[in-house]
Amino acid sequence: RFGLRLRRDWPAPRVAKAPIRTGPMGESRGDHAALLDCANGAPSAAFGEMYDRFDTKGIVPRLPQEPYHMMTRVIDVSTRPGVQEVGAKVRAEYDIPANAWYFEDNRNGAMPFAVLSEIALQPCGWLASHCGFALSGNLKFRNLEGDGVLHRELRPGDGTMVVDSELTAFSRVGPMTIVTFSVVVTLASGEPVLDLTTQFGFFPAAALVRQAGLAAKPHFSA
């Protein structure tokens, strides 16, 4: 007779080709390997020891996996891990692949706005996790609203995009937390791409049970 127990495990640890340590005391990893760990690696590999307990149990919000992962590196973050303060800032970069799948799949050859939105918003999620808003565990992270100005489209050959995100406000109501960000997206040359203000929320699963979304048109139903 024998017993079997499933154990949580993660992909083999990623080794950064160009390690990046950033933050006031160099405690935060900003290299691409660590950012991929934000999607499907051990939480502690992405954000350090404050997320150790989630390596074995519990859940935390994640960045999307490839091909929807739109952060190449984090250049700078203004606060130490776990510090929740208005004015916290992160600077991230995204290297636009010249042969990216989304250029080929878009009829006008430009970057789809859905992809640009991910590039602009994913650093907000990273900063929120870095600040420790998800540390109570078992929370869902949802984008609630946004208001922005698009200055230009992106095309193959535009190179590196720079995303500056700032936490401008946060508030808690029971187990829920609302976080507000100001986002500026430019090319590496400084040319403006997108200015945006946006809000996200951390919610327990029970708070989203009745969130059914938009009703489907009858002709869309099977």
Predicted TM-score (pTM) of this structure: 0.90
* Domain extents in the chain: 21-207
Q: Is the CB of residue 119 less than 8 Å from the CB of residue 97?
A: no
Record the tokens describing residue 173, joined without a space. 């109501």
What span, in angstroms and rounded, lies between the C-alpha atoms of 129 and 90? 12
Q: Is the CB of residue 74 less than 8 Å from the CB of residue 82?
A: no
Q: Is the CB of residue 55 less than 8 Å from the CB of residue 13?
A: no
Q: Is the CB of residue 179 less than 8 Å from the CB of residue 199?
A: yes
Record the tokens describing residue 135, joined without a space. 């540390």
The pLDDT value given to residue 222: 57
Please identify every stretch of the chain with a pLDDT value under 70, giving residue numbers as ranges: 220-222
The pLDDT value given to residue 2: 83
The pLDDT value given to residue 220: 66
Superfamily (CATH) of domain 21-207: Hotdog Thioesterase (3.10.129.10)
Among candidate residues 49, 24, 23, 44, the one with its CA nearest the CA of residue 34: 44
What span, in angstroms and rounded, lies between the C-alpha atoms of 73 and 16? 11
The pLDDT value given to residue 30: 96
The pLDDT value given to residue 98: 87
CA dihedral sign, ordered 210, 214, 215, 220: negative
Residue at token pair 């099977």: 222
The pLDDT value given to residue 11: 80
Burial group, residue 109, by CB count within 10 angstroms (0-12, 13-18, 19+): exposed
For the stretch 124-144, pLDDT in tens is 999 999 999 999 888 999 999
Question: What are the angstrom distances between the C-alpha of 209 and each of 18, 139, 144?
Answer: 42, 13, 16
Q: Is the peptide bond before 67 cis (omega within 30 degrees of 0)?
A: yes
